[in-house]
């Protein structure tokens, strides 16, 4: 009987353990890592990664520089070519792993968060539109070949920060004085503060690049600035666009 009671007590304990709620921070991380309610963002990331693999494959097919530029870049501008559109998901070769992973990380963070305030189809067309404008303006202004998803990616950075400050200002929780440094509420406040400040800081960094404080290609700077500005501008004028 005693053995049965112990076993029953063990079973009850296990049931109670199984019924315990998940830790909020762990649940938030799991939700992001599994792209829950982030399917459009997941589609963008997978598309860019698969397209990058195709680009690398052309190296082993012996493509000429002209063929590669025609399909993946805006080198033909203003003459028409597939690259004028496909440049928005293309990256330069040989692959710059830091650049590619940076774009993926920014999409995962900022497009994923933006998707909580957008419809899935809106996320997709917003990325395409912003990236197309960024590479087109970059090519037109500099006369250089432009490519890369960075303009579309940074549009989400600009949008999310501006959208939080304009539409959800009353819901922002930036005060952490009542919480420990690793509590969920404090971490949420840190993230919201970073989401508001990062676009401003990154925009200043890009302006520094444009005047030569930091070395980079002129076409890259213009494409990045255009993407960031488009995202913030869309957050401001979204109610009229919709």
pTM higher than 0.85? no
Within a domain: residue 8? no
CB 115 within 8 A of CB 188: no
Within a domain: residue 179? yes
Assess whether pLDDT exceeds 60 at residue 18: no
Position of tokens 């959800």?
168
Residue 100 domain boundaries:
31-241
Helix H or strand E segment including 101 = helix 97-106
Number of domains comprising the chain: 1
pLDDT of residue 46: 96
Within a domain: residue 197? yes
Euclidean distance between CA atoms 161 and 197, whole angstroms? 8
pLDDT of residue 216: 63
Cβ atoms within 10 A of the Cβ of 99, count? 15
Within a domain: residue 13? no
Q: What is the CATH number of the domain that holds 109?
A: 1.20.1540.10
pLDDT of residue 14: 42
Assess whether pLDDT exceeds 70 at residue 2: no
pLDDT digits (tens, 9 = 90+) for 150-161: 999 999 999 999
């Amino acid at each position: 009987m005693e053995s049965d009671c112990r076993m029953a007590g063990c079973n009850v304990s296990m049931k109670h353990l199984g019924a315990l709620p998940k830790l909020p921070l762990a649940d938030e991380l799991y939700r992001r890592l599994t792209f829950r309610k982030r399917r459009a963002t997941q589609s963008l990331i997978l598309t860019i990664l698969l397209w990058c693999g195709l680009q690398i494959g052309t190296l082993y097919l012996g493509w000429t520089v002209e063929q590669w530029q025609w399909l993946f870049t805006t080198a033909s501008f203003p003459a028409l070519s597939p690259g004028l559109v496909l440049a928005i998901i293309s990256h330069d070769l040989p692959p710059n792993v830091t650049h590619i992973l940076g774009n993926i990380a920014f999409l995962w963070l900022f497009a994923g968060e933006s998707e909580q305030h957008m419809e899935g189809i809106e996320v997709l067309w917003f990325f395409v539109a912003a990236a197309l404008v960024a590479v087109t303006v970059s090519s037109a202004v500099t006369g250089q070949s432009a490519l890369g998803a960075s303009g579309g990616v940074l549009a989400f950075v600009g949008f999310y920060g501006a959208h939080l400050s304009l539409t959800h200002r009353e819901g922002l929780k930036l005060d952490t004085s009542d919480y420990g440094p690793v509590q969920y509420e404090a971490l949420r406040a840190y993230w919201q503060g970073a989401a508001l400040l990062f676009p401003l800081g990154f925009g200043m960094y890009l302006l520094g690049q444009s005047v030569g404080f930091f070395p980079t290609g002129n076409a890259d700077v213009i494409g990045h600035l255009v993407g960031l500005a488009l995202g913030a501008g869309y957050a401001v004028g979204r109610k009229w666009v919709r």
